[in-house]
Amino acid sequence: MSVAYIGASNRDSLEVYHSIFEPAMQQIPFDNHRMILTRPSPEDGIFLERADIIVLAGGSVETGWSAFEKNGFKDLIVRRFYEGAVLMGISAGAVQLGRGGLTDDGHEHLSTFGLLPFHVGVHSESDNWELLRNTLSFTQEPTMGIGIPSGGGLIYHFDTGVVEPVCKPLYDLSVEGDQHSETIIFPDSEETPAPPTDPDPVQ
């Protein structure tokens, strides 16, 4: 199997690729992997078209998304997903797979791939998911955010709509009007717990 690593969100940092991604690849039986540059070479394009797994790196949600819009990856990644490629997002990459995130200055909402039917927050459990909460505050319609803590992960089953935690519990933050609800999704749960039917407004 082949793995394409897209480092646009960290501006194609070779340090991140060599110090984090390549060691991770040594732990699993995927010996065919390649870093796909923001300005891809013809060889990069061919590899990405055939990759079984596409990894979206961490960094800046805004920087990565801007690159995807300019180099055509915005449409290409979605097409490859529907052709059967597995998408993996790390940090900012996980946010991009969801419904969107904030610009680097925190003043605007960026709509991203939306392949996950919710917003994603990552490794900010220490501040009670402040960035994810700020992101949800930009939405006008009922929406949901899933917080992935440090050391945890999330698998979304598109056929059933089930959110599966990996290693650590997930945090489900749901918003409808001025009412907010919170649920913890524990590993090994068979399905995502439903939010309370009569949530208390957040003061």
Model confidence, pTM:
0.88
Confirm if 57 and 9 have CB atoms less than 8 A apart. yes
Tokens of 118: 């919710």
What is the fold, at CATH topology level, of the domain defined by 1-103?
A: Rossmann fold (3.40.50)
pLDDT tens for each residue of 6-30: 999 999 999 999 999 998 888 887 7
Both tokens assigned to 60: 């800046």
- What is the distance between the alpha carbons of residues 51 and 88, in angstroms, rounded to a whole number? 12
Q: What is the pLDDT of residues 157-189, one digit of tens each?
A: 999 999 999 999 999 999 887 788 999 999 874
